[in-house]
Amino acid sequence: MAKSGAKSQSPDLASQISEIDARMKNCTLCRLHESRTNAVPGTGRIADLDLMLVGEGPGRNEDHEGKPFVGAGGRVLDSILEAAGLDRNEIYITNIVKCRPPENRKPLDDEVETCTAYYLEKQIELLEPRLICTLGATALEYFTGETNMAKNHGKLLRSKRGLAIFSTYHPAAVFRSNSLREVLQADMKKIPSILEKLREREYQQDIAEFVGKSTS
Ligand code: URA
């Protein structure tokens, strides 16, 4: 899934990502550090990134392993990605907050504000994903301000800052309602063609820019 429009990324991207991962692992900026076992920075592809998945925050298994979506929700996610023809190793997976909220409660506003300002926004700036897929209401609201999942899932949206956002349900939602598995699956299956369109649009913009430069 290499980018066609070839935005060149810094050769030391891996070391820059490792550096912010290390900062997350030692972070004490909010109360969530007090109860964590491990911070969970993110995993997956970093160079020429097409797709970043953003969940809410680590659960118990993720807190133990230091990796996102490795518990029951992760297994649902894996099967849904596979059925959509998406390879987990080609995607960068992370969360809004990087430390587990106690009892899996929703992260509080100040936790979201601090963690995203210091870490998620930095990850996005470095990795420049072509598309961000939000998993669940917390990530949808963070990027778009929208709170209505039923209305906004399965659609290409724009973040407040102009990033391409595709929103769907959180994988754990299928444990509350099995019918959501099909909805989640149908949404995920749209991603490859959305990526194709975004690549095509970038390619057209590159050409227009190139022609503009060569005639000016
Ligand atoms: N739920 C999330 O939102 N993220 C994880 O990493 C695991 C479960």
If you measure from the C-alpha of residue 1 to the centroid of ligand 1, how many angstroms do you get, rounded to a whole number?
24
Residue in 40, 77, 95, 98 to alter for ligand 1 test, most ligand atoms within 8 A of Cβ: 95
pLDDT at 11: 65
Residue 2 covered by a domain: no
* Contact of 38 with 118, CB cutoff 8 Å: no
Task: Please report whether residue 37 resides in a domain.
Answer: yes
Q: What one-character-per-residue DSSP string does 21-75 give?
A: HHHHHT--SSGGGGT-SS----EE--TT--EEEEES---HHHHHHTSSS-SHHHH
Strands 156-158 and 43-44: unpaired
Residue 3 maps to a domain = no
Domain tally, the chain: 1
What is the position in ligand 1's atom list of the atom closest to the CA of 55?
A: 3
- 95 CA closest ligand 1 atom index: 4
The CATH code of the domain that includes 163 is 3.40.470.10
Query: How many Å lie between the centroid of ligand 1 and the Cα of residue 156?
Result: 22
Domain assignment of residue 7, yes or no? no
pLDDT for residue 206:
87
Dihedral sign from CA coordinates of 17, 116, 7, 82: positive
Distance separating alpha carbons of residues 179 and 214, to the nearest angstrom: 54
Is 4 within the bounds of a domain?
A: no
pLDDT tens digits, 164-213: 999 999 999 999 998 999 999 999 999 999 999 999 998 898 888 888 88
Positive or negative CA dihedral for 71, 77, 163, 85? positive
Range of the domain at 63: 12-215
